[in-house]
Amino acid sequence: MKTAIVQTNPVFSEVKLNIQNALEMMESVNADLYVLPELFNTGYNFIDGKELTCLAETSSGFTVKEMSVFAKRKSCYVVFGFAEQTEKIYNSSAIVGPGGLIGVYHKVHLFYREHLFFAEGNLGFPVFDLPIGKIGMMICFDWIYPEAARTLTLKGAQLIAHPSNLVLPYCPDAMVTRCLENRIFTATVNRVGCEDRGGIDLKFIGKSEIVSPRGEILTRLGDNEPGITVIDIDLSAADNKLATEYNHLLNGRKPSQYRLPHNNM
């Protein structure tokens, strides 16, 4: 499966421009799956809830439609992050294919000031069984909770598409461990650039990457410039959960030993 990671530098609130720039990059390579950053169409650093409300879209809105048109024309699949307007506003990712929207994920583990604006995710961690393979989704700070990647693995994911807006330095290297402990592929796709708004100055670290079930960094982009790269991966490698001939990483789990006393979290 040819997988493309699309590292962008969005301009805050310039939705049409950000989508256009992403699509121009995507047109430059052929892939079966394209993964874009978290909130790639709007930017990240919201000043207040009113601003977010103005930029949020439904799952049938402009961004999903534009990505769906691309997916249909290229007979491919696209994962991307956006602010989703439902009865609440969620930091969401969507996956679209040749037939349009396939599904969405609502970010479970909100980071920093996201708590001021977004509702906590309520859909669990979905896995989509597609013609190209079994694709799970998580978003950015979900990486720091091992339960997120493990849940997707137990549900059968071969690759985790991981739209991100990383400002802390730890995630790119930590994904090596996530892949090793679960024997899965991950595509962590970050943005670059800075957003200094409302007294909050954020710098995004780039370093978008694809990591193998053996913890190999198959490709990693730089930390300052937009970019796109595509590699061909064999998702069946994620079906082998053997660390040794005696150690199956999932069958060897001991859930009965992981229980906490009732008075503990």
Q: Under a CB-based contact definition with an 8 Å cutoff, are residues 182 and 29 in contact?
A: no
Q: Under a CB-based contact definition with an 8 Å cutoff, are residues 7 and 228 in contact?
A: yes
Q: Under a CB-based contact definition with an 8 Å cutoff, are residues 100 and 61 in contact?
A: no
Residue 86: Cβ within 10 Å count: 14
Q: At 115, is the secondary structure helix, strand, or coil?
A: helix
How far apart CA 67 and CA 100 sit, in angstroms, is: 8
Residues with a known catalytic role: 38, 107, 140
Residues 9-24 as b/e (b if ≥16 CB within 10 A, e otherwise) read: bbebeebeebbebbbe
